[in-house]
């Protein structure tokens, strides 16, 4: 499929050929689907091109028959977090909610880890504790966060 070929070309370093293939796909009247957009957005984020990835997500909202999913938003959120651009990651979360997408457990876990790795451990701990308190994080995610940030001292409250 085009999606698999695009990802393989991009990952192997042949970015120009990968983008050319997307152009060919469009010229043959094949519209990109959510998986295509997610593949492109993910590749852009891995290259540190998070602003461009977010712009593509915004374009999706206006030009596609479908809206970006929570998966699409999570990819961009992770990209901004890995780039230690926490304010922009929070902007992505606000955009997500503002456009009717509902954050999921992955969204919250990525955000907590991103905030913590960016050096804001107190804020990460506060967010984690808030989400544990309202049961927005499962036992699995709690354990993952606790392994990732043993110093966060997040206390899980069992029901």
Please give the pLDDT value at position 32: 86
Name the percent of the chain lying above pLDDT 90: 42
The reply to whether 63 and 139 lie within a common domain is no
- Per the document, the length of the chain is 159
Please give the pLDDT value at position 26: 85
Count of the separate structural domains present in the chain: 2
- Residue 133 has which token pair? 């308190």
- Tell me the mean pLDDT in the region 106-124: 87
97 within domain boundaries: no
Which of residues 88, 117, 139 is at a domain's end?
88
The reply to whether 83 and 155 lie within a common domain is no
The reply to whether 73 and 115 lie within a common domain is no
148 within domain boundaries: yes
- Tell me the mean pLDDT in the region 3-27: 88
The reply to whether 26 and 2 lie within a common domain is yes
Q: Name the pLDDT band for 159 (thresholds 50, 70, 90).
A: very low
The overall average pLDDT reported for the chain is 86
Instruction: Please provide the distance, in angstroms rounded to a whole number, between the alpha carbons at the two ends of the chain.
Output: 46
């Amino acid at each position: 499929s085009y999606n698999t070929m695009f990802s393989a070309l991009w990952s192997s370093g042949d970015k120009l050929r990968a983008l050319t293939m997307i152009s060919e796909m469009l010229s043959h009247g094949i519209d990109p689907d959510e998986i295509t957009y997610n593949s492109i957005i993910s590749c852009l984020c891995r290259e540190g091109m998070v602003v461009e990835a977010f712009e593509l997500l915004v374009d999706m909202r206006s030009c596609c028959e479908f809206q970006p999913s929570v998966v699409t938003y999570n990819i961009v959120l992770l990209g901004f977090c890995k780039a230690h651009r926490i304010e922009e990651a929070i902007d992505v979360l606000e955009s997500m909610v503002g456009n009717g997408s509902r954050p999921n457990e992955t969204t919250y876990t990525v955000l907590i880890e991103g905030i913590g790795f960016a050096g804001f451990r107190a804020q990460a701990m506060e967010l984690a504790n808030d989400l544990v308190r309202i049961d927005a994080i499962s036992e699995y995610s709690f354990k993952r966060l606790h392994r990732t940030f043993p110093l966060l001292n997040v206390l899980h409250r069992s029901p």
